[in-house]
Every structure is written in C-alpha cells, then in structure tokens.
Amino acid sequence: MERTLIKDLKNHVGTEVLINGVVNVARHQGKMAFFDFRDRSSLIQGVVFGKPEVLEVAKDIGAEYAVAVKGIVNKRPEKMVNATAPNGDIELEITGIEILNPSEAMPFDMSADFSLDVLLDNRPLTLRRERERAIFKIQHTIITAYREFLVSEGFTEFQAPKLVGGDAEGGAEVFKVEYFDGKSAYLATSPQLYKQMMVGVFERVFTAGSMFRAEKSATTRHMSEIAMLDLEMGFIKDHTDVIALVTKLMRFITEEINKKCGAELSLLEMPPALAPETFPVMTLREAQELIKQETGADKTAEPDLEPEDERFLCEYANKHWQSDFVFVTHFPTSKRPFYTHIDPEKPEFTRSFDLLFRGLEMCSGGQRVHNYAELIERIKSKGLDPDKFEFYLQAFKYGIPPHGGIGMGLERLTMKYSGVKNVKEASLFPRDMNRIDLLLSEGESSEAK
C-alpha cells in the first residue's frame, strides 16, 4: 500500500490507508492505546481497540518511535471533534502497526519550559517540539521569500566566499584559520566587498550564508556564526532607492509569513507584523529629537542609537504610524565604514540607514562610494591600507555603477517574527563564546551533561 501524508487523510474517510510517522504522544489504557502521530505534513490521532494482535505490538510503543501504521480513517463523533487541532474531526482506527525504529524513553517532559542550556544541549530532541518547528518553519519562509522577491526584481544569486585572505576591513573581531603551509586565512565577517564587486558583473546581486564574528559578547542578540542576507543593486540615485526596494522586500516577506505560517504564528501567539505601504523614515537627528521630545532624554549629540532608543522608536511607530518597521538614516561619517557614501549636502553624515523591526536593528545599509579616487581617500581616512584592498579596488578602477545595498541577519528576523526573546532560540545550532552544540567549558565527552 502506498503511503498517504497525514494532511491528506481527510480525503480518505472510510478507507484503509498507510501512514508513516513518529509518535508524538502515546497513552496506553489496558485494552486500548491512543497515539498522536506526526509526519512532515500534519498530526493525527490513532486508536487501537479490539485487535489483540495489534495491541501486542502497540503496547511497547512510546513517544518518538518511528512507525508505519495501517488504519481506517473515521469521522469522529460530533462531541469528540476538536475544532482547534489539525485533523480534529477525524481519527485513525489502527489495523496494523510496524516499528521502523524504536526510541528510548524520553529523558525529560518535552512540553516543559526549558532553560536555554537544556534547550540547546538537547537540540536534536528539543527541535522536534511544535514550538521549535514553528520557529524554523518561519525561518524557512523568510529566506525562501527573500530569494523569490529578489529574483522577481532581476537580482542574481551568487556564492560569497567565507575564507578570506586578510582582516582588511578592520573593525569587527575576526576568527583566524590555520591555512596551508603555515599561512593564515580568516573567516569572513560580511560579504560586503564581494557583493560590491559583483555589482559590476550582474548589476543586482544577492547572497545568503554564514558569516562569523569573534565578538566577546554574551548578549541575547549576538552569536559567533550567523546567516546573513545580503543584497546590492547598481544604478541607484541614492540610498532612498535602496529603502524603497527593502520596503517592498519586507512587505513581501511579511505577506508570505502571514499566508504560509498562520498556524505557526497562532502557536507562538504572535500577531502579523504591521508593514504599511511605506515605512516611517527619519534621520538619526530627527529620531533623537523625537526621543527628547517624548521622553526628555537628550541624546541629540550621540553618534548612534542605543538598544533602548531602538525599542522606543519601534513602540512609537507601532502606536502612531501602525508600522513595526522604522528606517533611521544619516548616521555620522565617523561611525560608518569607509565604503559608505557621504551625503554631499551634509558631509558629516552618510547616505546610510538602519532598519529597525519590533525594537531591534535588523539591517544596515545605504549607498556606497563608487568613485575610485574617493574610495582610496576614504580607506586612508579610516587608517587602513589601500594596498590591502587591491583585489577589491579593481572593480572601482574600472567603472562600477553607483550602487547600494543592505545586509541583514536571518536569525534576528526569525527572532522578531516568531517572538522569541533570545536570538539563540532562532538559530538551529547556535555558536557563541561558550557553546558549539554542547557547552565548550564542559568538553565533548559523554559526561558533558
């Protein structure tokens, strides 16, 4: 008999089917056994009753057993219908059950409220929970929507290298790799330089992949390895062209999540994100004036926003402008990297922006320097050595179009769409100062837990 996916069982009422699945919950009651089975598509309840030979097999089956189950799909009696559960109006009258792979008894109650360490130490198990599957279904939807939208806008995907030859860009802390013959390589902190080179090749490009930060910080917002979503586009007039594209991108991602992850948002008790046709845009100085006016805190001379400012601006935008997104533009030239385009009308500020979403900086971007001579000057002005950028500079010596773009963190997006409090819950296998799968301080032996 061919396998039927659980989501399709409702089309087979009254007939015998074969499902493959994993036991989500098992309840044994003497001559009866009740199971909830899950497969990749949905959940279904199954019952063994009045079949001693089936019960003989079923009685040993507990949670996480992988099984093949034959049964008749029955409508539930009216009073047994569970309107809120998937397949709550049908159940499987089990006629046969085969164990494909057994499971030991679970080491903890899977529905418990775990500490972060227990959650992460037992990731292969805890990821199987409905809550975790909901978070990473949303993550899958974000990255799929990101690519689909950009391809529809004429972007070409490219593979950015993760091994780089030097820490040319400076700034962020960089991991060192033992390369061949005593030479060193480094792990990329951003695909910035490569995506700019690629503007000369395909005009509009995007990439998505791991980036690495050796920051010694243990916050709820930082990890050693993150998945970055980067795009770069040529022939812009200034950063506002990028803001317009990013607005459409975030609206598309939001729509896709609302369309495809309704059940997941309900489970996580998250409302759909507010993504109006245009998002509020203000300069850093305007944002600081607003903060001063509304809270009394005078930060109008600060070079950047603090986390509490980001939270305030998002709360304000949600309340007054019905937007969970806010663009803040024109960060000081002194605080932005060398490739950031200076605003010719206010040279102490740049044509840069951050996008805030639900209280957190989600993405940084802006127009870039495209003029070769200016770029060399900017590199020098940051105390960096243009000779180390020889490969990158080829793209500018030979006429790259005016361009700009953004980079944003997939885990931060996932965190804010799914409502988890720590970005590590939005990474399948988060790495930080103290953890690579298991806690580093406790080593990798089987005694680690």
CA pair distance 404, 341, nearest whole angstrom = 9
Quick one: residue 203, left, alpha or beta (phi over 0 = left, psi -120 to 50 = alpha)? left
Question: Nearest Cα to 35, choosing from 102, 108, 119, 97?
Answer: 97
Residue whose CB is less far from a second copy, 13 or 100: 100
Torsion of CA 194, 197, 200, 201, to 10 degrees: -40
Q: Give the shortest CB-102-to-a second copy separation in angstroms.
A: 6
Q: Which two tokens stand for residue 439?
A: 């806690």
Q: Give the shortest CB-41-to-a second copy separation in angstroms.
A: 7
Q: Give the shortest CB-169-to-a second copy separation in angstroms.
A: 13
Q: Give the shortest CB-411-to-a second copy separation in angstroms.
A: 8
The string of DSSP codes covering 331-367 is -BGGGS-TTBPB-TTSTTBBSEEEEEETTEEEEEEEE
Catalytic residues: 213, 215, 221-222, 361, 364, 412
The SS3 call for residue 353 is strand
Q: Give the shortest CB-155-to-a second copy separation in angstroms.
A: 9
CA pair distance 217, 438, nearest whole angstrom = 18
CA pair distance 147, 62, nearest whole angstrom = 40
Helix axis angle, 390-397 to 192-202, nearest 10°: 30
CA pair distance 1, 207, nearest whole angstrom = 43
Residue whose CB is less far from a second copy, 210 or 258: 210
Name the DSSP letter for residue 359: T
- The residue assigned the tokens 């997006």 is 413
Q: Which two tokens stand for residue 87?
A: 């397949």
Q: Give the shortest CB-79-to-a second copy separation in angstroms.
A: 33
Q: Which two tokens stand for residue 390?
A: 């020889």
Backbone phi and psi for residue 390, each to the nearest 5 degrees, phi listed first: -50, -45
Residue type for position 70? K
Q: Give the shortest CB-45-to-a second copy separation in angstroms.
A: 19
The string of DSSP codes covering 13-72 is TTSEEEEEEEEEEEEEETTEEEEEEE-SS-EEEEEEES-HHHHHHHTT--TT-EEEEEEE
The dihedral built from the CA positions of residue 132, 138, 140 and 142, taken in this order, carries a sign that is negative
Q: Give the shortest CB-83-to-a second copy separation in angstroms.
A: 26
Q: Which two tokens stand for residue 250?
A: 């975030």
Residue type for position 314? C
Residue whose CB is less far from a second copy, 38 or 299: 38
Q: Give the shortest CB-259-to-a second copy separation in angstroms.
A: 14
Quick one: residue 186, left, alpha or beta (phi over 0 = left, psi -120 to 50 = alpha)? beta
Residue whose CB is less far from a second copy, 20 or 240: 20
CA pair distance 261, 437, nearest whole angstrom = 28
Residue whose CB is less far from a second copy, 151 or 244: 151
CA pair distance 54, 68, nearest whole angstrom = 12
